[in-house]
């Protein structure tokens, strides 16, 4: 197949899923054309069967704001026609599904049939999409998509109920390369962050308010009172300054290590003991899955699709949003009960391998593509 993929090229989970999917499809012999405003960050070298088409942003004095959605449509039209694509797969509804819809309408005039699949990832449905100005457009673009997938049962249900949609939505969970994300020695890095044998909590995100990174800092403050512990924070975003301020206010700034955006995730995860995901909203939790695949138990909030990933008392613990006392209690429990820790660590890895290995999940996308193309 020849597939066009549109996604956000930055560090967010939807871009990661789209890029890993494209890479895997290319390795299976399919031709994959990424269409975005920048090269997705995981496409950092030459890959056979992968092509990148940058959306050109035209400027004109009248256009005070960029017309990204329209420029994207134009690029989709060009690539679809001249690369002879079979299908477009857009990740994150806004504005990608609307651009694809518009491209399909344009091509209909010349009797060409562009089919597109929309994958819903999270805040496109649970947050931004619910803004009154966006809602009708999100609903419309979902209803008009030739196929729709969601990354959890939770997200599927939310889409159907919040937008009053009656449509088949296929749940295809996030996936992981279990050969890349796996338990391995990371002693040098561990010595660097925890030189005196401290325990290590870790969190990865794009530091949006919805991730509640400040809760992770408050958890550390509590845990530290019982057990010497460090907190490693990976990523960057709007809430980072507030997190740095809070760490100083709580006088634990020496124990909070801000690493910023990082590519060497497996090494850092493997130097850690427990992954924290205190999110206020989370449709699946790809970064928690990355930790689990490395055998790192997860302490998460109970929101969204997290219970579909993290099994309470088996792969980690689940607490209510903002219940910092309980999250801290769970961390101390795992730090002091070695037998339980080892059990959870084994279960976390096993759950990642048995349920979310890319070898199991990718065929579901391919089957779905075939179903939509033949419908
Ligand atoms: O919806 C978002 O916040 C953006 C998206 C992204 O691009 O980072 O994240 C979502 O997609 C991931 C991949 O499918 C999921 O694992 C994340 O849970 C989800 N984030 C949220 O729902 C907050």
pLDDT along the chain (375 residues), means of 10: 95 91 96 96 91 92 91 98 97 97 95 96 93 96 98 98 96 97 95 97 96 98 98 97 98 98 92 98 97 98 98 98 98 98 98 97 97 96
Q: Answer whether 286 contacts ligand 1 (Cβ < 6 A).
A: yes
Domains and CATH numbers, the chain: 2-175+358-373 (3.40.50.2000), 187-356 (3.40.50.2000)
Residue 58: the pLDDT is 83
Q: Which tokens sit at 204?
A: 């990865």
Q: Answer whether 119 contacts ligand 1 (Cβ < 6 A).
A: no
CA-8 nearest atom, ligand 1 = 7
Q: How many angstroms separate the Cα of 278 from the Cα of each of 203, 210, 314, 327?
A: 9, 9, 18, 9
CB atoms within 10 A of CB 62: 5
Q: Answer whether 13 contacts ligand 1 (Cβ < 6 A).
A: yes
Closest CA to 355 of 320, 317, 305: 305
Pocket probe mutation, ligand 1, options 124, 284, 289, max atoms within 8 Å of Cβ: 284
CA-208 nearest atom, ligand 1 = 3
Closest CA to 225 of 82, 335, 310, 69: 335
Q: How far apart are CA 277 and CA 257, in angstroms?
A: 16
Q: Give pTM, 2 decimals.
A: 0.95
Query: 153 and 309 in contact (C-beta within 8 Å)?
Result: no
Query: 156 and 133 in contact (C-beta within 8 Å)?
Result: no
Q: How far apart are CA 148 and CA 169, in angstroms?
A: 5
Q: Answer whether 17 contacts ligand 1 (Cβ < 6 A).
A: yes
DSSP 357: B
Cβ partners under 8 Å of residue 333, min gap 6? 317, 340
Closest CA to 92 of 176, 6, 22: 6
Distance 110 CA to ligand 1 centre (A): 36
Pocket probe mutation, ligand 1, options 151, 283, 306, max atoms within 8 Å of Cβ: 283
Distance 281 CA to ligand 1 centre (A): 9
Q: How many angstroms separate the Cα of 257 from the Cα of each of 60, 88, 203, 291?
A: 44, 41, 10, 18
Q: How far apart are CA 106 and CA 88, in angstroms?
A: 15
260 membership: H or E segment, kind and range: strand 256-260
Residue at token pair 């009960």: 337
Residue 42: the pLDDT is 84
Query: 36 and 54 in contact (C-beta within 8 Å)?
Result: yes
Q: How far apart are CA 200 and CA 242, in angstroms?
A: 21
Q: How many angstroms separate the Cα of 361 from the Cα of each of 20, 226, 330?
A: 12, 41, 31
Query: 277 and 233 in contact (C-beta within 8 Å)?
Result: no
Residue 44: the pLDDT is 81
Pocket probe mutation, ligand 1, options 9, 16, 96, 121, max atoms within 8 Å of Cβ: 121
Phi, psi torsion values for 246, nearest 5 degrees: -65, -40
Q: How far apart are CA 211 and CA 209, in angstroms?
A: 5
Distance 34 CA to ligand 1 centre (A): 19
For the chain, report the end-to-end CA distance as a whole number of angstroms: 16
Q: How far apart are CA 119 and CA 183, in angstroms?
A: 30
Q: Which tokens sit at 357?
A: 């290995």
Query: 356 and 289 in contact (C-beta within 8 Å)?
Result: yes
């Amino acid at each position: 197949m020849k597939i066009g993929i549109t996604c956000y090229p930055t560090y967010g989970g939807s871009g990661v899923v789209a890029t890993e999917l494209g890479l895997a499809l290319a390795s299976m012999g399919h031709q994959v054309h990424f269409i975005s405003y920048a090269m997705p960050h995981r496409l950092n070298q030459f890959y056979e069967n992968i092509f990148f088409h940058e959306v050109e942003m035209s400027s004109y004095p009248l256009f005070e704001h960029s017309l990204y959605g329209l420029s994207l449509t134009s690029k989709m039209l060009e690539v679809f026609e001249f690369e002879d694509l079979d299908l477009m797969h857009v990740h994150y509804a806004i504005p990608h599904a609307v651009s694809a819809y518009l491209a399909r309408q344009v091509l209909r005039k010349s009797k060409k049939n562009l089919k597109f699949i929309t994958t819903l990832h999270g805040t496109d449905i649970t947050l931004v999409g619910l803004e009154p100005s966006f809602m009708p457009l999100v609903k419309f673009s979902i209803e008009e998509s030739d196929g729709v997938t969601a990354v959890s049962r939770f997200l599927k249900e939310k889409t159907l109920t919040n937008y009053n949609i009656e449509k088949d939505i296929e749940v295809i969970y996030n996936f992981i390369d279990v050969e890349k994300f796996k338990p391995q020695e990371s002693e040098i890095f561990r010595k660097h962050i925890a030189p005196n044998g401290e325990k290590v909590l870790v969190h990865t995100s794009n530091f949006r308010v919805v991730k509640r990174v400040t809760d992770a800092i408050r958890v550390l403050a509590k845990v530290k009172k019982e057990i010497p512990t460090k907190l490693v924070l990976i990523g960057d975003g709007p809430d980072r300054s507030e997190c740095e301020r809070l760490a100083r206010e709580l006088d634990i700034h020496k124990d909070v290590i801000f690493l910023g955006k990082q590519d060497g995730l497996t090494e850092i995860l493997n130097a850690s003991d427990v992954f924290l995901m205190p999110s206020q909203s989370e449709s699946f939790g790809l970064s928690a899955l990355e930790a689990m695949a490395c055998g790192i138990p997860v302490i998460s909030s109970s929101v969204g699709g997290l219970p579909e990933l993290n099994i309470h008392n088996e792969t980690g613990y689940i607490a209510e949003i903002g219940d910092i006392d309980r999250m801290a209690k769970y961390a101390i429990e795992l730090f002091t009960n070695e037998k339980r820790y080892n059990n959870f660590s084994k279960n976390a890895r096993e759950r990642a391998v048995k349920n979310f290995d890319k070898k199991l999940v990718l065929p579901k996308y391919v089957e779905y593509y075939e179903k939509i193309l033949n419908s």
